[in-house]
Amino acid sequence: MQRSTFLGTAAAAGTVAVGFPNIARAQAQTVRIGTLNILSDAPFIVTQAKNFWKDEGLTVESTVFQSAGDMIVPMTQDALDTGGGTIAAGLYNGVSRGLTVRAVASKGTDAPLYGADKLLVRTDLVKSGKFKTIKDLKGMTVAGNEPGAGSSAALWVLLQKYGMDWPDISRQNLAFPNHVAALENGKVDAAYTAEPFATIAEKSGAATVILRDDQWYPNQQLSVVLFSGDFMKKRADLAHRFMRGYLRGARFYYNALKDGKFNGPNGAEVVGILNDVIKPTDKNLYKEVTAIYLSPDAKLELASVTRDLAYFRKQSIITSPTISVADVIDESFLNQAIKEVGPMPRSKA
């Protein structure tokens, strides 16, 4: 885990953090947020950069995790208030055992043209002809994220479409940032990876993009905002203010989108913000990536979440036979924020 603050806000406020679980709070208005440092964090980054949380009287501290699953324990120990990740099998299993973490808003989907998760194959395998079609993945080593994540559901659907299943490939479960090096050094033959790492691997010449996830599994709920139970109950006022700020940030982000890229009216500013915060070595990177889509009201794609739950059940990685989508979702904070912030004009397609 890496401790940081978006744009140095907490540092500027004199906040000191000394690891988990004993994080010192300089102010009662501090919200501790977990991120993955991938493109799906862009709505969080934009919200902070535009001072929408500051306008709500909040100081937001950020900690980088390797997966959303790693955020769960700090959330249960009152060391983390909120975070971003997927509605994974681990969330269902945790809730069935009494976990009070809930998915409360969308942080990104792969709407048509916005396939920010991509299947890549090493360029040398493509050029040699060893890989020609998806069926050629059979027998190959493919990097993915954690087995119980939504990304695994999407990759499994692709395999099924071409008459394959998990035993037909060798799975390597790696954090997304490690996919680029694994492709470059030949440790894996292919990868199902998230932006910006997909574009980084492609630009390096190590890999070739074969498909975007929206081309075979569109409108999947890729990333969500998670709230801890204590944040929702013991600090409900902060949670409401956090959500109001986030909704404003989501709408600013939405107006940066056009045709799968950051080509909307706010696009140049969002690219500049990402360059300032994540600091890529290639300043053109965020102009070239496929953006993750976020609707202006940040509503969850419940049909997609239901599909993924069916996959988790089929793979026998859900422990409860009765757990449902409704058990892991609470959109009450989002719905209240929409009422308070007001509707956004829907003139944009």
Evaluate whether residue 24 is within a structural domain: yes
Residues 44 and 188 in one domain: no
**What pLDDT sits at residue 20?**
42
**What pLDDT sits at residue 347?**
53
Segments forming the whole domain that contains residue 163: 117-215
**What pLDDT sits at residue 11?**
29
Residues 178 and 230 in one domain: no
**What pLDDT sits at residue 83?**
94
Q: What is the CATH number of the domain that holds 209?
A: 3.40.190.10
pLDDT less than 50: residues of the chain: 1-27, 348-349
Residues 186 and 146 in one domain: yes
How many whole angstroms separate alpha carbon 320 and alpha carbon 9? 41
Which tokens sit at 233?
Answer: 């109950």
**What pLDDT sits at residue 146?**
80
Residues 67 and 207 in one domain: no
**What pLDDT sits at residue 176?**
86
Domain closes at, from 215, 236, 264:
215
Task: Write out pLDDT tens, residues 282-333.
Answer: 999 999 999 999 999 999 999 999 999 999 999 999 989 999 999 999 999 9
Evaluate whether residue 195 is within a structural domain: yes
3-state secondary structure the chain: CEEECHHHHHHHCCCCCCCCCCCCCCCCCEEEEEECCCHHHHHHHHHHHCCHHHHCCCEEEEEECCCHHHHHHHHHCCCCCEEEECCCHHHHHHHHCCCCCEEEEEEEECCCCCCCEEEEEEHHHHHHCCCCCHHHHCCCEEEECCCCCHHHHHHHHHHHHCCCCHHHCEEEECCHHHHHHHHHCCCCCEEEEECCHHHHHHHHCCEEEEEEHHHCCCCCEEEEEEECHHHHHCCHHHHHHHHHHHHHHHHHHHCCCECCECCCCCHHHHHHHHHHHHCCCCCCHHHHCCCCECCCCCCCCHHHHHHHHHHHHHCCCCCCCCCCHHHHECCHHHHHHHHHHCCCCCCCC
Residues 14 and 79 in one domain: yes
**What pLDDT sits at residue 16?**
32
Residues 254 and 205 in one domain: no
Residues 155 and 84 in one domain: no
**What pLDDT sits at residue 172?**
95
Domain closes at, from 185, 215, 245:
215
Residues 231 and 99 in one domain: yes
**What pLDDT sits at residue 193?**
94
**What pLDDT sits at residue 147?**
84
Task: Write out pLDDT tens, residues 235-265.
Answer: 999 999 999 999 999 999 999 999 999 999 9
Evaluate whether residue 349 is within a structural domain: no
Residues 86 and 228 in one domain: yes
Contact 49, 72 (CB under 8 A): no
**What pLDDT sits at residue 66?**
72
**What pLDDT sits at residue 346?**
61
Residues 61 and 164 in one domain: no
